[in-house]
Amino acid sequence: MKTIGLIGGMSWQSSKFYYEYLNRLVAEQLGGSHSAKILMSSVDFSGIEKLSFEDNWEAIGEQMAVEAKKLQNAGADIVVLGTNTIHLVAPYIEKAITVPFLHIARATGNAIAAKGVKRVGLLGTRFTMEKDFYTGILQDEFDLEVVVPNATERDYLQELIYNELVKGEFSTAAREQCVRIIQKLQEQGIEGVILGCTELPILIPDSAVTLPTFDTTMIHSKAAVDFALN
């Protein structure tokens, strides 16, 4: 079994699910008392959040490169970044290490393609929905049509994620509003929806919507375990 290196803390609300999923998936495949071999470097999200609001992605990229190197030097065979948004600085990580880096958008694209979905909605931070580091991979590599909410709804999701979800606040009112946003996208013809912030699957269970949902935390974890066991 290979060792998975996980950069966590962005936010820790979802990082704990990465740890759970990685171990559970290994146990399901190998049985007995097996668990995943994981190295984790968990960062303080507050400073990264501030830099993202300042649009200082270079500083974030340099920090992520340092964390990835730590994991490689400690023996990680692959590096996983436990967040969607911060994949904006994936090139910094890829340049800093020689072991594989598992991009969350690529793992998600593979999962969507396996379902035969072609027109997909995307919920996440404003950075994830509006910049092309994420949608570009889905469009260019998987030929997907990606539909995002309108500007007002994108503003709502941005505020929800940073002011509530990363702080562990998951309210019924927020869930209902997100479901309404998804329903509006469904009226535009989407065939599935990407929960493109690793906290969103905590808020929105599969049972809350009628469309297929793509839980990026679980998808990313499955791809990491597939690598570790093969």
pLDDT in tens, 19-40: 999 999 999 999 999 999 999 9
pLDDT in tens, 146-179: 999 999 999 999 999 999 999 999 999 999 999 9
Helices 12-30, 216-229: crossing angle, 10 deg rounding = 40
Percent of the residues in the chain that have a pLDDT greater than 70, as a whole number: 100
CA–CA dist 167, 182 (Å, integer): 23
The reply to whether 197 belongs to the active site is yes
Tell whether omega for the bond before 11 is within 30 degrees of 0, i.e. cis. Answer: yes
The H or E element that residue 230 is part of is none
Q: Which of the following is catalytic: 178, 197, 198, 216?
A: 197
Domains of the chain: 4-103+218-229 (3.40.50.1860), 105-215 (3.40.50.1860)
Q: Which residues of the chain have pLDDT under 70?
A: none
CA–CA dist 228, 78 (Å, integer): 8
The H or E element that residue 5 is part of is strand 4-8
Q: Which of the following is catalytic: 83, 128, 198, 213?
A: 83
Tokens 């436990």 identify what position?
Answer: 82
Q: Give the tokens for residue 91.
A: 């090139």
Q: Give the tokens for residue 12.
A: 């820790």
Among candidate residues 40, 32, 35, the one with its CA nearest the CA of residue 4: 40
